[in-house]
Structure 1
Amino acid sequence: MYTVILKKNEEKRLLAGHPWVYANEVSKIEGKDTQGSIARVTDFQGRLVGYGFINHASKIIVRILTRDEVIIDEDFFYKRIKSSNDYRVHLGYDNNYRVIFGESDLLPGLIVDKYGEYLSMQVLSLGMEVRKEMLVRILVDIFKPKGIYERSDVPVRIKEGLKEVKQLLYGNVPERVEIIENGIKMQIDIINGQKTGYFLDQKENRDNLKYYVKDKDVLDCFCNIGGFSLCASKYQAKSVTAVDISEAAVKSVLTNAKLNGYTNITTIQADVFEQLRQYRAENRKFDVIILDPPAFIKAKDSLKNGYYGYRDLNTTALKLLKKGGFLITCSCSQPLTLNLFLEMLQESVLASKVYGRLVEVRSQGKDHAILIGTEESSYLKVAVIQVLDV
């Protein structure tokens, strides 16, 4: 077993809850083992900090699994995975949810989503990669799924010395899987859809539309396959306009609307920024506008440009709202902190020359809980702003 000895005082962040040991925090490494194996981490004085996966090829040289002296074997992972699922079941999750959210479930580098009778799995660390067969075996035993599909087609794997991969791991997975979210039938694509198939982190935020959309004209920007649009229709919106640049996405919105018998949804395949500018030129107004864009900021070096992108988008949307209307705006950019997000919205309100009030601030779903001390697990911000009739 490797023993990783930290430099003086480098253990403080780890003891506060952060699970990553960076290579530049290490004083020396003793012992020998294979990459992806379990390493012991100590402070400079030799006191135990924890045990975790080691990977010399990554800047994150160790991902902590536990702070305790325990045997890390298949039973260890079985109990961790079962505990993660038990937490979700206790909260009422059933048909579709995030089963494992990596570090937040003390399973660093592992994502598992449940879509009905199927599982979608994403492996982001070498330690999980070398245990993939064992993990599949555990998932099959706990969930008895019809199929498990791997969606590890993400660039972050390259930083771990791994290749991007998509593959069937167990059973069979069809091209389309039907789920029920917030009482709404939806067909999702595990094999080629966004992320692991769908954006489960917004489930509660989509259902929260029930407070804002009844008898209203709703504009859903970056609609993807229609999660927000369908909820707006369910909660008796007068009309819903769903806009996305993806042809496949807008087709999926109509398919899902038909599944539920919703007839008040219109789709537009267009660049959202251009479509908003067109509405502005037409002096078109809406009662509710939803902004759920892809991440504009993937790393801290793109923070400035991404910040301006969010500000411009929100400023334009605010100008398209009727008096008394609501803007429901989101950011999934992790480097854009909550404070920066709210600062950006304040600047947007000022630039749009409207009077606005912040109605509520929300976050990612409870199946995407945030590990305290680990800012990387906190990424989704949602705000509701009302334009006042002054």
Structure 2
Amino acid sequence: MPLLRLKKNEERRLRSGHLWIFSNEVDTAQTPLKGFTAGDLAVVENARGEALGTAYVNPDSLIAARILSRDPRKSINTAFFRKRLERALALREWAYGKPHYRLVFGESDGLPGLIIDRFGDVFAVQTNTAGMEKLQALIIEALDALFSPRAVVIRNTSSLRALEGLADDTRVVIGTLSDPIEIEENGARFRIDPLQGQKTGWFFDHRDNRAALTRWCPGKRVLDLFAYTGAWGLPAALAGAESVECVDASAPALELAADNARLNGVAERMRFTGADVFDFLRQAREERHHYDVIVLDPPAFIKRKKDVAKGLEAYRRLNQAALQVLAPGGLLVSASCSFHLSRDSLHDLLRASARHLDRHLVFVGRGGQAADHPVHPAIPETDYLKAFFCQAGPSL
């Protein structure tokens, strides 16, 4: 296996537990990156020639290599992936009673660049790096051997792939899949579409936050913004909300949300509105509509560092608009999946938004990722999700 040598003292991040090697950390005089093709495997060593592990390399990426194993002699084959899948599976089976979860969460499960969601006997696979793309056949073999799945779907549509020079790719590689499938979360049933839905068709990361919402919903008027297929709104209705309005710009997503409401017997208390969320909130304010509970779970407004200023403004506008239609003493759940928006920044944004509107705001809960999205203590990028449960009353 070829060698990838680091510059002097550049192994410190790896020693601390991180799995990434940046291009400026490579000793290109000793091991030129141009000598690799995207996805090649290599043994990583420090400037003294001490082996640090096995990695895959992408010479055209800012992240030049990602560690797959600390063992420089490790064979990266089907057996390797099966062992990693078994290890990931043990955690999920410990945490959850039903086989609906994120089975593999990239670096946190020792498989950088790989995402696998499990929907019973259907699996959705994302390979977001050139290295994992090159190893995809081995991953599918390991999945097939371990689970004998009814279907495996490749959902390679992440924007991260463009950074690795990869094209989008959506197809079924094992079995057949033509119709939406059913999953269960926190006692609610959902029909989802792994082939055509956003990302892999479902967002498991907010599972615990959605469960935490239900205590606040009995007898309340609930507004679920960026509702997608009703992942927040449906549990609210099942918990006894007086009414739930789900707002999303996607008509197909709302059709699935309505199907899910009927599936769970709560359709008579749910309403589905196709609209731009900012436009909807403006009209609701003008018509003096108010809600007791509002959920804000928008897409990532900050995908890159250079988007921070623009994204912060979007989050500010959104939260202020929501507070303007929140009934006095009501609950706002404000969430963000943007890694580049820190918890402290969202905290400060909510505080400032409340003061701007002369509202007395307190935090009654905080949330993060569910257990199937474990956070790696040495890799801050794995800790991206945050949610604040805020009560906003009139000014003191």
After TM superposition, the score normalised by the length of structure 2 is 0.95
Partners of 2:6 and 2:31 lie apart in 1 by 11
TM-superposition CA deviations, 1:62-84 (whole Å, max 9, x none): 11112234422332221111100
2:374 equivalent to 1:348 = no
Q: Does the 8 Å contact 2:244/2:269 carry over to 1? A: yes
User: How far has the Cα of 1:35 moved from its partner?
Assistant: 4.3
Partners of 2:73 and 2:97 lie apart in 1 by 30
1:149-164 map, 5 Å: 149-164=153-168
Partners of 1:76 and 1:140 lie apart in 2 by 14
User: How far has the Cα of 1:30 moved from its partner?
Assistant: 3.8
Equivalent residue, structure 2, for 1:271: 276
Q: Does the 8 Å contact 1:316/1:352 carry over to 2? A: no
Equivalent residue, structure 2, for 1:20: 20
Equivalent residue, structure 2, for 1:332: 337
User: How far has the Cα of 1:280 moved from its partner?
Assistant: 1.0
TM-superposition CA deviations, 1:308-366 (whole Å, max 9, x none): 11011111211222222100111111111112111211111111210010111111111
Question: What is the DSSP-based 3-state SS (H/G/I as helix, E as strand, rest coil) of the residue aligned with 1:355?
Answer: strand
TM-superposition CA deviations, 1:134-170 (whole Å, max 9, x none): 2111101212210000001223223223221111111
Equivalent residue, structure 1, for 2:315: 310
Q: Does the 8 Å contact 2:113/2:132 carry over to 1? A: yes
Partners of 2:8 and 2:147 lie apart in 1 by 44
Equivalent residue, structure 1, for 2:263: 259
User: How far has the Cα of 1:299 moved from its partner?
Assistant: 0.5
Cα RMSD of the aligned pairs, angstroms, is: 1.6
Q: Does the 8 Å contact 2:154/2:173 carry over to 1? A: yes
Question: What is the DSSP-based 3-state SS (H/G/I as helix, E as strand, rest coil) of the residue aligned with 2:140?
Answer: helix
Partners of 2:10 and 2:351 lie apart in 1 by 37
Question: What is the DSSP-based 3-state SS (H/G/I as helix, E as strand, rest coil) of the residue aligned with 1:186?
Answer: strand
1:135-174 map, 5 Å: 135-174=139-178
Closer, same or farther: CA 292–35 of 1 in aligned 2, 3 Å: closer
Q: Does the 8 Å contact 1:202/1:364 carry over to 2? A: yes
User: How far has the Cα of 1:15 moved from its partner?
Assistant: 1.7
Among candidates 173, 177, 184, match of residue 180 of structure 1: 184
> Which amino acid in 1 is paired with 2:241?
A
User: How far has the Cα of 1:306 moved from its partner?
Assistant: 0.4
Identity between Structure 1 and Structure 2 (%): 37
Equivalent residue, structure 1, for 2:215: 211
Equivalent residue, structure 2, for 1:229: 233
Partners of 1:152 and 1:323 lie apart in 2 by 44
Equivalent residue, structure 1, for 2:47: 44
2:104 equivalent to 1:110 = no
> Which amino acid in 1 is paired with 2:158?
V
Partners of 2:19 and 2:242 lie apart in 1 by 48
Partners of 2:106 and 2:363 lie apart in 1 by 32
2:57 equivalent to 1:76 = no
Partners of 2:297 and 2:260 lie apart in 1 by 19
Equivalent residue, structure 2, for 1:132: 136
Partners of 1:315 and 1:113 lie apart in 2 by 34
Q: Does the 8 Å contact 1:2/1:30 carry over to 2? A: no
Closer, same or farther: CA 323–35 of 1 in aligned 2, 3 Å: closer
Question: What is the DSSP-based 3-state SS (H/G/I as helix, E as strand, rest coil) of the residue aligned with 2:245?
Answer: strand
Partners of 1:139 and 1:303 lie apart in 2 by 38
Question: What is the DSSP-based 3-state SS (H/G/I as helix, E as strand, rest coil) of the residue aligned with 1:251?
Answer: helix
Partners of 1:182 and 1:144 lie apart in 2 by 26
Q: Does the 8 Å contact 2:335/2:388 carry over to 1? A: yes
Partners of 2:326 and 2:161 lie apart in 1 by 42
Equivalent residue, structure 1, for 2:367: 362
Unaligned ranges ≥5, structure 2: none
> Which amino acid in 1 is paired with 2:110?
L
2:198 equivalent to 1:202 = no
Question: What is the DSSP-based 3-state SS (H/G/I as helix, E as strand, rest coil) of the residue aligned with 1:367?
Answer: coil
| Higher alpha-carbon deviation: 232-241 or 57-66 | 57-66
Equivalent residue, structure 1, for 2:388: 383
Q: Does the 8 Å contact 2:78/2:141 carry over to 1? A: no
Unaligned ranges ≥5, structure 1: none
Partners of 2:274 and 2:37 lie apart in 1 by 50
Q: Does the 8 Å contact 1:319/1:354 carry over to 2? A: no
Partners of 1:246 and 1:76 lie apart in 2 by 40
Partners of 1:34 and 1:312 lie apart in 2 by 45
> Which amino acid in 2 is paired with 1:145?
P
User: How far has the Cα of 1:9 moved from its partner?
Assistant: 2.1
Question: What is the DSSP-based 3-state SS (H/G/I as helix, E as strand, rest coil) of the residue aligned with 2:138?
Answer: helix
